[in-house]
Amino acid sequence: MNGACIDVLRTRRSLDDAGLRYLLCTDDRDTVRALHAAAREETNSRFGRVVWLRALIEWSNVCRNDCLYCGIRRSNRSVRRYTMRPDEILSCCERAWDAGLRTFVLQGGENPAAAEGLAPVVAGIRAAWPDAAITLSLGELPPETYALLRRSGADRFLLRHETADPAHYARLHPAGMTLEGRLACLRALRSLGYQVGMGMMVGSPFQTEDDLLADLRLLASFRPEMVGIGPFIPQQDTPLGTFPPGSADRTLRLYSLVRLLLPDALIPSTTALSTLLPDGWRAGLAAGANVIMPDFTPAEYRGEYALYEGKTASGIALSVLIEKLAAAGYRIGAGRGDYNGN
């Protein structure tokens, strides 16, 4: 099977379950290297050796949900809650713009009232930097709130589906949260004209190989513009805090599989990967990723956005990152770096 299924995947943008399972699980390192090489070649052919930088601003850690794996879950009393003021958010955007970044990513816990109140801030960002892209990651919200934020100037929305299996989803989330509810939100976002990002955790508790195959099938069917994939990393103050972390190797394989399934997708090399793997950003790019999101959250808040253990220690200074990217033969993408696929 080895190389043949990689060729089929690259030429047809599809592969049967047996082939996907083999690439996901094989111990043959030559096959794994060939998979990453094919994804890397595909990325270079579509984008060149270009990396898009997105400025991550974690503007609030207040969340109404109690997801069993998340460090900012509602029941975690060890977290000091914060919500950044509008002027603080705008200051972060200004720093990012002056550093050459043209996408601002506002990420926060799920809080519908606060999300609605963010609309004037989004409008302010749009007015101040009309050529920037504004990406939001705010969880499941009413359709009218998504619409308000879109009218205010937001371009993109990140909402990872986490897992494509309803039963597995239920084991990771509190009662009342369902996979169908999450997918309904993704469909609403697309209908409003957002560029949509989805994705999953790799190695989350109770996950099976079949779950990951279902994730790949869902991604291939929905065809999101952005795909965020990161390994599960436990957080000690959560019900799932004693489970082992996911596999960096399997995460990298999934980067490559998604690149070959969805060649035009924007795929970040995630912070979670770099938490498990030294210089994980480099390994992610070599496996098919083409986005990195440097953290522009003010230092006074950064330690409180602890979704998992070790998150705050995995960052890298922007100037150092740019130097390392240049040394590795990459250049920083100019402009917003919008999705250009069909």
Which pLDDT tens digit goes with each residue over 20-58? 999 999 999 999 999 999 999 999 999 999 999 999 999
* Mean pLDDT for the stretch of residues 263-274: 95
Q: How far apart are CA 205 and CA 219, in angstroms?
A: 21
Residue 313 has pLDDT above 60, yes or no: no
Q: Check: CB of residue 234 under 8 Å from CB of residue 195.
A: no
Mean pLDDT of 230-251: 97
In a domain, 177, yes or no: yes
Residue 10 lies in a domain: no
pLDDT value for 314: 55
Q: Please provide the distance, in angstroms rounded to a whole number, between the alpha carbons at the two ends of the chain.
A: 30
Average of per-residue pLDDT values in the chain? 95
150 occurs within a structural domain = yes
Determine the pLDDT at residue 278.
85
Judge whether 242 and 281 are in contact, CB under 8 Å. no
pLDDT at residue 1 is higher than 70: no
Query: How many domains does the chain divide into?
Result: 1
Instruction: Tell me which residue of 321, 223, 225 sits closest to 271, measured CA to CA.
Output: 321
Does residue 141 belong to any structural domain of this protein? yes
130 token code pair: 């009309």
User: Is 244 among the domain residues?
Assistant: yes
Query: Rounded to whole angstroms, how far apart are CA atoms 342 and 338?
Result: 12
Residue 3 lies in a domain: no
**What CATH number does residue 174 fall under?**
3.20.20.70
* Residue 333 pLDDT: 95
SS3 328: coil
Q: Which pLDDT band, with edges at 50, 70 and 90, does 225 fall under?
A: very high
Domain membership flag for residue 9: no
CA distance 152 to 196: 17
**Domain assignment of residue 35, yes or no:** no
Average pLDDT over residues 300-326: 85
Q: Are 162 and 201 in contact (CB under 8 A)?
A: yes
Which residue range is the domain that position 125 belongs to?
48-332
Of 48, 54, 49, give the one whose Cα is nearest residue 337. 54
Partners of 315 in the β-ladder:
none
